[in-house]
Amino acid sequence: MARFKLYIEYEGTRYSGWQRQQNAKTIQGTLINAGTEIFKTSVFDLQGSGRTDSGVHALCQVAHLDVKTMLAPEIVKMKFNDLLPYDINILEVQKINSNFHARHDAVSRSYIYQVSRRRTAFGKNYVWWIKDNLNFDLMSSASFNFIGMHDFTSFSDEDKEEKSPKVLINNIEMTEAGNIILIRITGSHFLWKMVRRMVGLLVEIGRGKQTEKELLFYLNNRSTNPAKFTAPPSGLFLESVLYNKEINSHKLFPIISL
């Protein structure tokens, strides 16, 4: 049995998230279907570094694949890409030690969210268009309160697979690029809908409808209010998954320029 490390990008609009489901089209399910044809067997294991929600994209999702094959990594990559639809692409395949686990060995993950200040004919699937004026400085200042170890119960729905609602946020970066506001959030891991609710609350602060004081209240007390502000999945991208002592050195650039 060989173990491979896969680096995958995908446009999540047409999919019900990463995780394989019985009656829905998913990224993992599509990859497994392709793998069944490539390896002429369903006896293999493909696991991602974590789930992404329905409609969420990935610039670089990481997965590991256990399969009995003599194929070289570059051939595995080529065969997958020959079968995959246009909106899923294998960036790289590496032969990896059998001890490596895509999810358990990840030390941090980073997400990028794109908020658009204008309506767009071309980037609708990749941004959240906000009609109201947004105060970038208020949003940026408030965002720093998320950094550190916090209980994010108020920013997530109940998930039986999560053992604890506590998450370490390592860093938040915000910048403006033309009509795009970019928000990068790096953390140990992320709860279901957590990033979208963090962004949604920051947007409400930018609109002047919520305050930094309320953000702090939600971090320190359980509240259902952040659920009302959940940002749409269209603007969200899993940017990178880091292992061991890897550092995200990528500059913060928009995925689409407006």
Inter-residue contact 52 to 60 (CB < 8 Å): no
Question: What letter would DSSP give residue 219?
Answer: H
Q: What is the pLDDT of residues 172-221, one digit of tens each?
A: 999 999 999 999 999 999 999 999 999 999 999 999 999 999 999 999 99
**pTM of this prediction?**
0.95
Query: Per the structure block, which two tokens stand in for 8?
Result: 């995958």
* 146 pLDDT above the threshold of 90: yes
Cβ-in-10-Å burial (0-12, 13-18, 19+) of 123 comes to: buried
Which pLDDT score, from 0 to 100, does residue 162 have? Answer: 67
Inter-residue contact 248 to 240 (CB < 8 Å): yes
Whole-angstrom distance, CA of residue 125 vs CA of residue 215: 28
Which residue, among 161, 58, 174, has the nearest Cα to 109 in the 3D structure? 58
Torsion angle in degrees (nearest 10) through CA of 94, 98, 101, 107:
-80
Q: What is the pLDDT of residues 5-59, one digit of tens each?
A: 999 999 999 999 999 999 999 999 999 999 999 999 999 999 999 999 999 999 9
* 154 pLDDT above the threshold of 80: yes
Read off the pLDDT band of 257 (50, 70, 90): confident
Inter-residue contact 252 to 218 (CB < 8 Å): no
* Domains observed in the chain: 2-95 (3.30.70.580), 107-243 (3.30.70.660)
Q: What is the pLDDT of residues 70-107, one digit of tens each?
A: 999 999 999 999 999 999 999 999 999 999 999 999 99
Confirm whether 137 is a catalytic residue. no
Q: Which of these is catalytic: 45, 53, 157, 159?
A: 53
Whole-angstrom distance, CA of residue 34 vs CA of residue 202: 40
CA angle (54, 59, 61) in 5-degree steps: 70
Which pLDDT score, from 0 to 100, does residue 160 have? Answer: 66
Give me the mean pLDDT over the 135-149 stretch. Answer: 98
Cα dist from 44 to 39, 148, 179, whole Å:
9, 38, 45
Q: In angstroms, how far is CA 231 from the centroid of its own chain?
A: 13
Which pLDDT score, from 0 to 100, does residue 250 have? Answer: 81
